[in-house]
Amino acid sequence: MPTSEKSKSLNLKDIKPEETPENIESEVFQTLTIEDVKYKTRLTKKYLNRKPYEPVNPKQVLSFIPGTIKKIYTSKGKKVKTGEKLVDLEAMKMLNTIFAHNNGTVAEILVKEGDLVSKNKLLILFK
């Protein structure tokens, strides 16, 4: 297939990023090693601003969806078993029951019936 001047193929060497102060400050290079081969890579702002992973704390019960606390089945100091009802949370006209995921003793209840809660709000602490 004949090539004309308009349809040249580009090499990566031909592409040069614009060197503005914004680009220089936002580019952070990191060395990445995969199978004994080292690569230099750029990290984006989105990657740098990401929320780091935190393992689930078994001593906390969090709301998984925003809603209203309709009923609390437990009290402070009560020993609960796995699968026991803790709280009813109403969200989008549906009643969601939150169960205990571990055996334990309730140390503190941080909400009361009728409270509006947001996603990932701490509801109950275990000892």
**Per-residue pLDDT tens listing for the chain (127 residues):** 454 455 444 444 444 554 445 555 556 678 878 888 988 888 788 877 888 888 989 999 999 999 999 999 999 999 999 999 999 999 999 999 999 999 999 999 999 999 999 999 999 999 9
Quote the radius of gyration of the chain (alpha carbons, Å).
27
Give backbone dihedrals phi and psi of 74, rounded to 5 degrees, phi first.
Answer: -125, 175
| Domain architecture of the chain: domains with CATH | 60-126 (2.40.50.100)
Give backbone dihedrals phi and psi of 47, rounded to 5 degrees, phi first.
Answer: -65, -45
d(CA 100, CA 79): 11
Regarding pTM above 0.85, the answer is: no
d(CA 84, CA 100): 5
Q: Which two tokens stand for residue 81?
A: 């078993």
